[in-house]
Amino acid sequence: MRKGRHYAGVATAVLLFVMLAQWFSQQWVAPTALFWIVCIAASGCLVFAVALGIVAHRNNQAELGFVSFYFYSASILPLVHGITTPGVLYGDNAVTMNSALLAVPVGLVGLAPLLLRDHPLSRSLARRWRLWVGTLTFAVLGLVSVMLVEPQQFRDLLPGTFRWQALALLGAMGSVVAGKRHIRLAEIADRPGPLFVAYGFLSVGAASLGLTWIQPWTVGFWLVHALDIFGVFLATIGGVLVYRSHRDLTEVLAPLTAFDPHAAIELGLDPIVHRFIADLEAKDRMTRDHVVRTGALTVAVAEEMKLDGAAVRRCGLVGLLHDVGKLEISDEILTKPDKLSEEEFATMRSHAAIGRRMLADSPVLSDVAQAVGAHHERVDGKGYPYGLVGSIIPIEARVTAVCDAYDAMSRTRHYRSALGAETVERALIQNAGTQWDAEIVDALLRVLARGGDTEERFQSVGRACATADVEFERGCADCVPTLHGEALVEDEELVEA
């Protein structure tokens, strides 16, 4: 998926909307119709938002909790907007406009821990998400009650047009940030689901902005309300419908919570990836746990390096699948507790080329086959199996090589105990620029210094569908080209992952 194409589509849609709103000045004054349209639509959205909150609480899903509050605010305040439509149940009042303009900014307050996910306060709120979401939910409910009972109290809340526009602009900017994040996640996941959520955010933000300059009861006025309703339903029900084939309700709702790249990648994993990881677990649990941790770490490092979404996805896949060739290595060699003989070591090293052959013929994994085959290459050309040098090595393989080595050195292996943190860091620094890409080593050290916790990521990969009936072939024809250079043995005292 190409990011520019998505942005161009959104820009074109907004431009057409503005043109339509400006060209038509004819008015249709129908307060009763507005009352029923908004009340019915907002009530439906509110029911769905509350359901999201209940599921979030039951499954302890912080991300879903934050998103549910956004939709709660974007539903209940527009409901007030509809109820207080002048000329139906209420006379002229300021609540009608104020409630509509406050809906998105208030919702973004609840969404802040996800939009500012690297901030220490955001991480603290994520740990106490029920308190955060619950407090905001009851605060908004109290605000709504006052609006409906004492609407005159809000006459001077936003007395100037400029303040209305500033508040609407704030909400639109926050919605753009959330929308852009989901567009990137659609690229990472290689799935359209997050795009529905992204365009929902953008539509709601555009509608909020449009309310400040479009004349009441014009064509543009009705279009703004239609765009707002469309945005909320698109971001909620639309996202769920895309994933309606999932059996578990938590999985169905997952597109709404995919605010981080790990979740996005896991959403987009093909069943064959789960099968490979399940087979690794059946063969050797230690290898399975190693690739899962490595895959999670490659995603964090790729994000730290600000690679594009497609590259982040490929890094995650290569990290998860880099040792898939070990499925063809005998158990006697793979789990041997002693030092390998030269012949056994040569067999072990063949897993990189085997992994490439296993993936090359898969239509969904062929784009990462080359990087899987190159994850033991060194930037100085002394790696294996082909002796590639520097940037000729795919970036995904270079990222995986560093993360693979870090995890291998940091954990107990069949043939040795884990090395201490200082020893591992010293090894990475000393061999940056020779064994590993120095820029990637620096990115990994920054991730580790921040305390980025990826330990629990991808833990369900290969387990949720371990019994799935997935067919694939491993005995594909040898498609590995002959490349320059003789492969050299890397320093076994550093790492042989």
Summarize pLDDT for 67-90 with one digit per residue, the tens: 889 889 989 999 999 999 999 999
* Burial per residue of 442-461, b for 16 or more beta-carbon CB atoms within 10 angstroms, e otherwise: bbbbebbeeebebeebbeeb
Structural domain includes residue 482: no
Please give the single-letter amino acid code of residue 232. Answer: V
Same domain (yes/no): 174, 297: no
If asked whether residues 324 and 195 sit together in one domain, one would say no
Range of weakest confidence among 114-123, 288-297, 368-377, 384-393: 114-123
Q: Residue 367's domain is classified under what CATH number?
A: 1.10.3210.10
Same domain, 312 and 417: yes
pLDDT, tens only, 274-313: 888 888 888 888 889 999 999 999 999 999 998 988 899 8
Please tell me which of 43-52, 231-240, 251-260 the model is most confident about, judged by mean pLDDT.
Answer: 43-52
- The better pLDDT of the pair 180, 248 is held by 180
**Neighbouring residues of 120: CB distance < 8 A, sequence distance ≥ 6:** none
476 inside domain: no
Q: At what angle do helices 193-210 and 95-115 cross, to 10 degrees?
A: 140
pLDDT of residue 239: 55
Is the model's pLDDT at 483 over the cut of 70? no
**Per-residue confidence at 379, pLDDT binned at 50, 70, 90?**
very high
202 in any annotated domain:
yes
Question: CA-to-CA distance for 207 and 81, rounded, in angstroms?
Answer: 14
CA nearest to 15, candidates 202, 167, 228: 202
Domain assignment present for residue 187? The answer is: yes
Top-confidence residue, 22 or 27: 27
DSSP structure class, residue 236: I
* Rounded distance between C-alpha atoms, residue 390 and residue 399, angstroms: 12
- The interaxial angle of helices 95-115 and 161-189, nearest 10 deg, is 40
Nearest-5° Cα angle at 168, 167 to 170: 65
The yes-or-no verdict on residue 229 having pLDDT over 70 is yes
What percent of the chain is modeled with pLDDT above 70?
77
Two tokens, residue 111 = 């969404």
The domain tally of the chain equals: 2
The verdict on 78 and 163 lying in the same domain is yes
Q: Could you tell me the pLDDT band of residue 17, with boundaries at 50, 70 and 90?
A: low
Q: Which candidate, 5, 454, 458, places its Cα nearest to that of 192?
A: 5
Structure tokens at 30: 């129908």
pLDDT, tens digit, 9 for 90 and up, residues 134-174: 999 999 999 999 999 988 777 655 555 566 777 778 888 88
pLDDT at 477: 32
Among 408, 423, 449, give the residue marking a domain's end. 449
Residue predicted with more confidence, 147 or 364? 147
275 and 337: one domain? yes
Which residue among 218, 233, 257 closes a domain? 257
Written in H, E and C, the secondary structure of 328-357 is HCCHHHHCCCCCCCHHHHHHHHCHHHHHHH
Phi, psi of 216 (to 5 degrees): -60, 140
| pLDDT score for 18 | 55
Average pLDDT over residues 53-71: 80
**For the purposes of burial, counting CB atoms within 10 Å of the CB of 237, is it exposed (0-12), middle (13-18) or buried (19 or more)?**
middle
What is the pLDDT at residue 101? 85
Q: Are 75 and 94 in contact (CB under 8 A)?
A: no
> Is residue 465 in a domain?
no
Distance CA 56, CA 76 (A): 19
Is 374:352 a contact under the CB 8 Å cutoff? yes
Least confident of 21-25, 66-70, 124-128, 389-393: 21-25
Determine phi and psi for 383, rounding to 5 degrees. Answer: -90, -170
Q: Give the pLDDT confidence of 212-228 residue by residue, as tens digits.
A: 777 788 877 888 888 88
pLDDT computed for residue 476 by the predictor? 34
222 falls within a domain: yes
DSSP state of 318: H
Specify whether 131 is located in the same domain as 237: yes
Environment class of 333 (CB within 10 Å of its CB; exposed 0-12, middle 13-18, buried 19+): middle
Q: Cα dihedral sign for 393, 399, 404, 409?
A: positive
Q: Is the pLDDT of residue 241 over 70?
A: no
Provide the pLDDT for residue 486.
Answer: 29
Angle at 40 between CA 35 and CA 41, to 5 degrees: 105
451: left (phi over 0), alpha (psi -120 to 50) or beta: left
Instruction: Indicate the range of 21-25, 26-30, 419-423 predicted with least confidence.
Output: 21-25
User: Chain centroid to CA 389: how far?
Assistant: 32
* Together in a domain, 423 and 393: yes
How many Cα atoms sit within 13 Å of 160 on the Cβ side?
Answer: 3
Per-residue pLDDT, 470:
40
Residue identified by tokens 């207080």 is 84
Q: What distance in Å separates the CA atoms of residue 50 and residue 177, rounded to the nearest whole number?
A: 24
Q: What is the pLDDT of residue 330?
A: 86
Average pLDDT, the chain: 78
* 496 pLDDT more than 60: no
* Lookup: tokens for 126: 């994520």
Is residue 109 predicted with pLDDT exceeding 60?
yes
What's the mean pLDDT in 325-352? 85
Alpha helices in 361-450, H assignment, sequence order: 369-373, 395-410, 421-430, 438-449
C-alpha distances (whole Å) from 100 to each of 33, 43, 76, 96, 477 are 17, 14, 10, 7, 62
Structure confidence at residue 339 as a pLDDT band (50, 70, 90): confident
Can you tell me the mean pLDDT for 471-483? Answer: 33
Percentage of the chain with pLDDT > 90?
29
- pLDDT for the residue numbered 25: 63
Task: Flag whether 461 is in a domain.
Answer: no
> Do residue 195 and residue 118 come from a single domain?
yes
Q: Are 60 and 75 in contact (CB under 8 A)?
A: no
**Per-residue model confidence (pLDDT) at position 6:** 53
pLDDT recorded at residue 446: 92
The whole domain housing 177 covers 3-257
Report pLDDT for 467: 41
Q: What is the pLDDT of residue 155?
A: 64
- Same structural domain for residues 246 and 282? no
385: cis peptide before it, omega within 30°? yes
Q: Do 182 and 306 fall into the same domain? A: no
What's the pLDDT tens digit per position in 392-410?
999 999 999 999 999 989 8
Shared-domain flag, residues 357 and 234: no
Residue type at 488?
Answer: L
Whether residues 168 and 306 fall in one domain: no
Q: Give domain status of residue 473, yes or no.
A: no
